[in-house]
Structure 1
Amino acid sequence: MIRLVCSIVAIVLCVWKVFNWAWWKPRRLERYFRKQGIRGPPYRLIHGNVAENGAASLEAKAKPMNGFTHSIVPRVLPFLHQTVQKYGNLSIFWVGGNPRVDIMNPDLVRDVLLNKFGYFTKMKPNPVVKLFVTGLVSYNGGKWSKHRKIINPAFHHEKLKLMMPAFYTSCGELISRWNKLALEGSFELDIAPELQSLTEDVISRTLFGRNYQVGRQIFELQTEQQDLLFQSSQFAYIPGQETTATLLLWTIVLLSMHQEWQEHAREEVLRAFEKNQPDFDGLSHLKLMSMILYEVLRLYPPFPLLTRFTSKKAKLGEITFPQGVQVGLPILLIHHDRDLWGEDVGEFNPTRFSGGISKATKNKVSYFPFGWGPQICIGLQFALIEVKIALTMILQRFYFKLSPTYVHAPHAVLTLQPQHGAPIVFCKR
């Protein structure tokens, strides 16, 4: 009899937990946010809005884009785009039974990323994501501080200078391969895997002093006893490599689309270095190239969406968040917001950054491709130096344009990628 009662109680508790997660809690939170003026697509049992989001993405990917437009939001984040259009700059998206409040207001974005009171922490990666992304990008609190302190010295100005030979070697090997392909004058190749290999090689050389193949073997042989070193280096090996390759890829694609800017960039490079190897100090004076990279990062940020999680009850402006709610910062949508960037928001216009990022954004947090505030990406300068060296060496030696087979179709995987690859035609200078 006692066993039967215990079994019934256990079943009732399980049913209640499922009911609470799948129905009662979402409905309660939906009412809670609606009272504060925050709305979104209605919650659907079990899956929330995930199925609708997936269907919208599949539909968007199946349609061809209108030429080489940079207005990519409806294709990359179609469901979120529709949600913001319908419900405004504060809206809810349901990830299963858990709400994510998406914020488009730069002042609120600043408060989330500044995180003065420790309300907003990084999301814990799910097991699948954890296979690819770990280390600093997923740490919070004391663990983040500890690892940041370990890694910080490696990215000081003087240490970055010491990495220049590794950058030269990796980029030089890429150029040598391409020179062989250019023996007949011009050649075509998909730059996506090429740039992936380049950035992997740079990370391996700077991290382990070995090329990519040897570095990968070392990386895979780390033991549990070396966990601290492993996870600290893993932060750089995967997110660092992925974001840098993505930035360099879209820069080459956009300079292939906009030949006048490619020529301006080449003129600046040749004035600064002629045919010589780019030096550390000279790279910092490539103002036009910096403007181009900033604009590429605005239009094609590596990560379209940044998320945070309320670790405790939080106040954000006039909004109160209960503990355990996701907060979404849609980088791509904010970077493409006409109200923030003006009528030419969908155009490739590097001159908007001629006075620097602060002037372009009017000191608002409307531009954060690598995050913002105390937890801004530690490898930002590393990535920009690597991209500038690679781009300088390519511009010194090659003209390039889009292949006739190129199809402009950006889509979000882990990062923002060209769905059909990036075939580019290179011609020796």
Structure 2
Amino acid sequence: METMGRVIIAIVVAVILGWGWKLLNWVWLKPKKLEKWLRDEGYKGNPYKLLMGDMIELATIIKEVKLKSIPVTHDITSYALPFDHHIISKYGEKSFVWSGTRPRMYIRDPELIKEILLRPDEFRKPHPEPFRDSLIGGLLVTEGHKWIKHRKIVNPAFNLQNLKIMFSAISSSCSDMIHKWELLTTESGSIEVDVWPYIDNLAGDVISRTAFGSSYEEGKKIFRIQKEQIDLLFQMLYILLVPGRRFIPIRANRKFKENVNELRSVLMAIINKRKKAIETGEGKQHDLLGILLESNKKEIEEHGVGMSMEDVIEECKLFYIAGSETTSNLIVWTMVCLSMHQEWQTRAREEIVNVFGDKELDFEGLKSLKILTMILNEVLRLYTPVIMMTRATHKETKLGNMMIPSGMHLSLAMMHVHHDREIWGDDANEFKPDRFVEGIANATKGKGSSPFFPFSNGPRVCIGQNLAMTEAKTAMVLVLQRFSFELSPSYKHSPFPVFTLPPQFGAHLILRNI
């Protein structure tokens, strides 16, 4: 018995020492090793602080900046990315920050960013990433063979033929918003209005119709829940990287967990209802969910394995965040930019008259809108929906002339590249859509199309970018046909990031009937 007791004690001590070593490596040894490599490579940043890194300073700066607006300008990088701007201004272009125990090195060379995005198996999405993982999954976060399979299943939902079918739903949602604005301007012919809530609801309306079709009202409920989740996450910014954060008994944490369960319940009910309809042959549903389930069914029949119920739920959540946020931001910043630059508003309206005349808006006609496409590209450049992306190495990996160690996070500074004077010229912070007159490849100062990636790049380029552009063009055509608009005196410029780049104080414009 005495020998057995000694064995048990030895096992317990070995386990404690093993866990202790892992803990020490996680909270101190590995961060300091990565910090040494960065400094040896000429990168500069704050010294490592135990567990939290730069998170306290980051949260403090973000909360301070969120309270303010800025002068009306397109030079927005210091406002949209205040902490990153602070670090880069302090330490220079070769700098890094700490996300808890992980250092993130900034990558601002567009060729290196392109190379990283073209090698997704070597430069993967960081796992875990609390802010992202609390809200979304699906194609955005899956990796390897699972991502390849899921992309294959989801792809048919976004092909050109299905986009044409969805166009009537998109047009209907846009027309509903226009009708609301017409009612507001009926008496006086003009009105000051915050257009942002209408555009935000429009994007939710479109994704609800195109994703869930007949379950449109339940879709709107999903949209409302996810909006609340984003607000709750910002309330918990200080504790996002704290181990066991989800167990901390604060109201925001409890409400977030309640919403997670409610969201899953609503989505499961919609998906199960649609699966039964498909099994009983109740006719094809030409919405994203219907096409996804048909594609998944075919994959299972042909190869035995497809998406699980949890996988489908995650893709549906992603439809909302990626689908609605990106498009609503593009539309609202287009209206703001055209309010600031009336000559481009006039040119876009004249082109729409030339293309459509008195005819009803149609899908094919959108392709002829060259000036509007230039405008949208310039808005995507200045107010890019993907302001920063993070990738991570999982083994020693070569990039350029560096051998980056395993466990390093890389921040791809998309917004900085989109505002870089060396790439776009001295007018990089000005609104000049005619820089795209000869296409994206000729818009830069001899750098080709590599520095322009509003929807990412490489194999993991945004699958819904054509849907987003179709919705933005449809909305802007209908708006420009019926209204002229300008900035209101009460407008406050506030392009502040959540997942994308919404105007946190709204977009107060003066609308006038044409």
| TM-score under structure 2 length normalisation | 0.78
Structure-to-structure mapping, 1:243-258, within 5 angstroms: 243-258=326-341
Given the alignment of the two structures, is residue 51 of structure 1 paired with residue 21 of structure 2, yes or no? no
Distance 1:29 1:212, change over 3 A: same
Is the CA contact 2:104–2:411 (under 8 Å) kept in the aligned structure 1?
Answer: yes
Question: 3-state SS of the aligned residue for 1:417?
Answer: coil
CA RMSD, aligned part only?
Answer: 2.3
Question: Is 1:326 the counterpart of 2:409 in the alignment?
Answer: yes
Checking the alignment, whether the CA contact within 8 Å between 1:202 and 1:212 is kept in structure 2 is no
TM-superposed CA distance for 1:154, in Å, is 2.2
TM-score (norm 1): 0.92
CA drift at 1:269: 0.9
**Native 8 Å contact 2:205 2:220 kept in 1:** no
Secondary structure, counterpart of 1:90 in structure 2: coil
Equivalent residue number for residue 144 of structure 2 = 141
Cα distance change, pair 236–62 in 1 and its aligned pair in 2 (3 A): closer
Residue type at the aligned position of 1:341? W
Matched-pair contact (CA < 8 Å) for 1:275–1:396: no
Give the one of 466, 469, 473 matched to 1:384: 469
Q: How far is the alpha carbon of 1:292 from its aligned partner?
A: 0.6
Letter in 2 for 1:320: M
Q: Distance in 2 between matches of 1:316 and 1:138?
A: 22
Q: What SS does the corresponding residue of 1:93 show, helix, strand or coil?
A: strand
Shift in Å at residue 394 of structure 1? 0.6
- Residue in 2 that maps onto 1:187: 191
Contact 1:277 1:393 survives alignment (8 Å):
no
Q: Secondary structure at the match of 2:480?
A: helix
Q: Distance in 1 between matches of 2:468 and 2:374?
A: 15
From 76, 89, 96, the equivalent of 2:93 is 89
Tell me if the contact between 2:442 and 2:449 (Cα under 8 Å) persists in the aligned partners.
Answer: no
Deviation sequence 1:191-243 (CA, Å, 0-9, x none): 22211211122122222223742434664624696334333333222211111
| Distance of 2:156 and 2:381 partners within structure 1 | 28
Tell me the amino acid that sits aligned with residue 206 of structure 1. Answer: T
Tell me, yes or no, if structure 1 residue 150 matches structure 2 residue 149.
Answer: no
Which amino acid in the other structure matches residue 32 of structure 1?
W
TM-fit CA distance, 1:354: 1.0
Q: Deviations over 1:6-48 (max 9, x none)?
A: 6665555555444332222211111122222223232222211
Q: Secondary structure at the match of 2:496?
A: strand
Look up the SS of the partner of 1:410 in the other structure.
Answer: coil
Task: Deviation per CA, 1:97-127: give whole Å up to 9, x if none.
Answer: 11112100111111100007x2111233545
Q: Distance in 2 between matches of 1:108 and 1:49?
A: 25
Alignment-derived partner of residue 371 in structure 2: 288
Q: Measured at CA, do residues 339 and 86 of structure 1 come closer, stay the same or move farther in structure 2, by a change above 3 Å? A: farther
The 3-state SS of whatever aligns with 1:110 is helix
Aligned residue type for 2:48: Y
The partner residue of 1:164 within 152, 167, 179 is 167
The residue aligned with 1:340 is 423
Question: Can you list the C-alpha shifts for 1:323-355, whole angstroms capped at 9, x where unaligned?
Answer: 222111011111111221111111111111111
Q: Tell whether the 8 Å contact from 2:138 to 2:311 is kept in structure 1 after alignment.
A: no
Structure 1 unmatched runs, 5+: none
Report the Cα offset of residue 275 of structure 1.
Answer: 4.0
Indicate the residue corresponding to 1:98 in structure 2: 102
Secondary structure at the counterpart of residue 420 of structure 1: coil
Q: How far apart, CA to CA, are the structure 2 residues paired with 1:174 and 1:275?
A: 20
1: CA distance between counterparts of 2:212 and 2:84? 41
Given the superposition, is the C-alpha separation of residues 120 and 349 from structure 1 closer, same or farther in structure 2, using an over 3 Å criterion? same
Structure 1 distance, partners of 2:315, 2:21, is 41
Is the 2:65–2:82 contact (alpha carbons within 8 Å) kept by the matching residues of 1?
Answer: yes
Which of 62, 68, 73 is matched with 1:69 structurally? 73
Greater mean deviation of Cα atoms: 404-413 or 355-364? 355-364
Q: Structure 2 stretches of 5 or more lacking a match? A: 222-265, 273-306
1:31 is aligned to 36
Q: Does 2:98 match 1:107?
A: no
Partner of 1:415: 500
**Alignment correspondent of 2:396:** 313
Alpha-carbon contact 2:396-2:405 (below 8 Å) kept: yes
Asked if the contact 2:136/2:314 (under 8 Å) is kept, the reply is no
Query: CA separation of 1:358/1:196 partners in 2, compared to 1, >3 Å: closer, same or farther?
Result: same
Is residue 2:431 matched to residue 1:427? no
**Is 1:122 aligned to 2:125, yes or no?**
yes
Aligned to 1:21: 26
Does residue 262 in structure 1 map to residue 266 in structure 2?
no
Going from structure 1 to structure 2, the CA distance change for 1:255 and 1:219 (only over 3 Å counts) comes to farther
Question: How far did 1:288 drift?
Answer: 0.7
Q: Is the 8 A contact 1:60 1:74 kept in 2?
A: no
Residues in 1 aligned to 2:201 and 2:363: alpha-carbon distance in whole angstroms = 23
What is the aligned partner in structure 2 of residue 350 from structure 1? Answer: 433
Bigger shift: residues 358-367 or 261-270 = 358-367
Partner of 1:174: 177
The amino acid that maps onto 1:38 is: Y
Identity across aligned pairs (percent)? 42
- Whether the 8 Å CA contact 1:57–1:76 is kept in 2: the answer is no
